[in-house]
Amino acid sequence: MALSIFNKNRYEVENAKFISDRAFYLVVAAALLFGFAVNALEVVFLADIVVTWNPIVFLVVYLILAIGGVCINAFSRNPALSFIGYCMVVLPIGALLAMVVPAYSIGVVRSAFIVTTILAVIFGLLAVMYPKIFYSMWKVLAVSLLIALIWSLVAMFTGNYFSSGYVWLDWVVVLVFCCYVGFDVARAYARPKTLDNAVDSACGLYLDLINIFIRLLAIFGRRD
């Protein structure tokens, strides 16, 4: 049952068709596995293709699809349309991973995957035990992420980002997204259990985990 402090939130919809808690979490898990499986296939089969794409065209298409998908997923109350939005997020991120992942050794990719999984389990469990704490973090998390991203861009343009001295910045972003995992788990727990909200929850968690994985690749890649 949702926490009382979340009973009146913007995700609650009238005349919605509710599903059981078990079905809700199964849909979230299935959608996440679907997204990761699609990404894995893209890395395997597109790695030699994406490197030939025009980077500016790729960036424009990537932003259009990803931002459009997030908006559709966030504002649609139709589960089918929300899933289309989710796929619009998954596909361009998979193409990005197809560019990034082959640059790292198998050991680095494996380490990043294992640590991402461990962090997801830890912060997911913490969110189940202390949902109010994570749900109250969203303003701090948003500000922290904005500051970290701005700092990352400044470091990139100054040419210092890839030096070992900036590993701490990646760890800060990893921590922020770990807290976002907790926030999204707490939010999923609090949401009315509808099929559409299950897809929305999966999209949020997918983005959190992918960002953690990419940052860990950068961290472990510097050491490799």
pLDDT band at 150 (very low <50, low <70, confident <90, very high): confident
pTM: 0.86
**Residues sharing a CB contact under 8 Å with residue 220, sequence separation 6 or more, in sequence order:** 104, 108, 111, 112
Q: What is the pLDDT of residues 87-117, one digit of tens each?
A: 999 999 999 999 999 999 999 999 999 999 9
Q: What is the pLDDT of residues 9-36, one digit of tens each?
A: 444 455 568 899 999 999 999 999 999 9
Measured CA distances, 201 to 79, 165, 190, 213, 221 (Å): 12, 35, 11, 18, 30
